Structure 1
Amino acid sequence: MSTARPVVGIIGNSTLIQGHYPAHSGGTMNSAAVAQVADCLPLLIPADPRYVAVEELLAVCDGFLLTGGRPNVHPAEYGEDPTPAHGEFDRCRDAITLPLVRECVARGQPFFGVCRGFQEVNVAMGGTLYPEIRDLPGRMNHRMPPDGTLEERFALRHKISLTPGGRFHKLLGATEVMVNSLHGQGIKDPGQRIVIEGHAPDGTPEALYVRDAPGFTLSVQWHPEWQAGMDPVSRPLFQAFGDAVRAFAATRR
């Protein structure tokens, strides 16, 4: 009899089906990366404190994928006032993910942050965000191309320089990799214990981990879930995440 796979909670996003019907959703590519590359059981989480509690999620799931999403972390979470440049918000998701990150760091429970998830990790640890990267002097436009197929929108767009000898360098076997780019906001001030190990050519932080955390905390600003099984950068990230989730699940048994 096969052993049950450990459970990875995938943070869902609030959406409206056909503009009217409220729903919680998650990209198929997230589930595919968790199931087929990390080799874990994907479980979509309705990120809303009216329906789930952080303590319940920690008990049910062995690890978490902090996904991307159109709404941004509310600037009140890092001591700033909202402006039109901050875009849309999802306060319910903020209420779940930010304390969830802090609890996972303390417990050694693995998480992998992606895009908004990358920004959530920074904010959860006391960091701040820029509302719009492309408005900063000398920065490039990191946003998703407005038109084109999925292949065109998720195409590799720029290089990432990784810290020599760092965790990402050791995992990926290179100090420079190519990634996609589909985000508007980015890290301004790193939070406490946040170690930035990857930067875009314009200096935008793109890869981080939490210093002295007992568990897996690697997070990236790009979207490694896109064709994760075929991409030489995405695959080892999700495989390492899966290994960490399995190791944590084994300690519970």
Structure 2
Amino acid sequence: MRRPILGIIGNQYVIEDRYPVHAVGRMNLDAAAHVAGGMPYVIAADPALVSVEELMEVCDGFILTGGRANVHPDTYGELPTEAHGAFDPARDAITLPLVRACVEAGQPILGLCRGFQEINVAMGGTLYPEIRDLPGRDNHRMPPDGTLEEQFALRHAVTFDEGGVFHRLMGTRQVMTNTLHGQGIKTPGARIVIEGHAPDGTAEAIHVSGAPGFALAVQWHPEWNAAHDPVSRPLFEAFGIAARHWAAGHGPVPALKSA
């Protein structure tokens, strides 16, 4: 059987201050290919180039990656402020309806960092523009300096709900994760179940209640060292299993379906 085609949502960048591109980080591609066991397919997330319907026909599952641009607050009924940072409305116009369509169909989706926030917003939730500005919250942004190893180092614990999807998937209630985000969930969307929290109460792991297929997301970046990290590997492996079932024509399967 062919490898499932895993659509990896790209971000817009400008190379050398003049050349616009859509790109995906290599670590996302490696995780999709070598841990989830799929064929990574880079998606230019812009409705001028692709449509949700076409993407769902071509791909067997989707990874919603992180990115510097944030979900525009217009999409969840709030006004933009300086704290909201940069935006990518073209990506919003693809990912938000894509999430809703995949949840409805049972097509596998995995949200990472910005993708975690996109899934919440797509389901009607809202976001805080800057977690570190909230009373009692920690700074969840990545260190501004240092090597990639230092920036993606494990920095805080995440505790999962007893008996929940993530607890069963990881085989433990507490794990260590990296943290490289500024925003976070303010109000969860309809059917969004928060199953994991950082020590300061920040939401870190969610699933979509009642989704017929794999619909999980985490606020950290599990693509870093995914092949060897004991937290990242089971997440991508379970996503890959769901995508293989979809590719084989078996329809949607939940997050914990065996291969």
Q: Specify the TM-score bucket, using the shorter chain as the normaliser.
A: over 0.9
Q: Gapped runs of 5+ residues in structure 2? A: 252-259
CA drift of 1:251 comes to 1.6
Aligned residue among 51, 55, 58 for 1:57? 55
User: How many residues are aligned here?
Assistant: 251
* Aligned partner letter, 1:15: Y
Distance 1:100 1:159 in 2: 31
One-letter identity of the residue aligned with 2:229: D
Residue 196 of structure 2 is matched in structure 1 by 198
Aligned to 1:139: 137
**Deviation at 1:9?**
0.2
Aligned-partner Cα distance in 2 for 1:27–1:144: 16
TM-score, with structure 1 as normaliser: 0.98
Q: Which residues of 2 match residues 154-233 of structure 1 at below 5 A?
A: 154-233=152-231
**CA-CA distance at 1:252 after TM superposition:** 6.3
SS at match of 2:45: coil
Q: Which amino acid aligns with 1:157?
A: R
2:219 maps to amino acid: Q
The counterpart of 1:150, out of the listed 127, 148, 151, is: 148
Quote the residue 1:118 is aligned against.
116
* Residue identity opposite 2:195 in structure 1: E
Deviation at residue 4 of structure 1 after TM alignment: 1.7
1:7 aligns with 2:5: yes
Normalised by the length of structure 2, the TM-score is: 0.96
* Residue of 65, 68, 73 corresponding to 1:75: 73
Instruction: Report SS of the residue matched to 2:249.
Output: helix
Map 1:19-30 to 2 at 5 A.
Answer: 19-30=17-28
- Tell me the CA shift for residue 248 of structure 1: 1.1
Report Cα offsets for 1:161-204 as digits up to 9, x if no partner. Answer: 10010000000000000000000000000000000000000000
Distance in 2 (alpha carbons) for counterparts of 1:250 and 1:193:
28
1:93 aligns with 91
Which SS does the other structure have where 1:152 is aligned? helix
Cα distance, 1:250 vs structure 2: 1.4
Q: Percent identity over the alignment? A: 68
Structure 1: 5+ residue runs without aligned partners?
none
CA distance in 2, matches of 1:136, 1:119: 17
- The residue number in structure 2 matching 1:16 is 14
Give the SS at the match of 2:180: coil
Distance 1:84 1:20 in 2: 25
> Amino acid of the residue matched to residue 182 of structure 1?
L
RMSD across aligned positions (CA): 0.8
Counterpart of 1:95, as a letter, is A
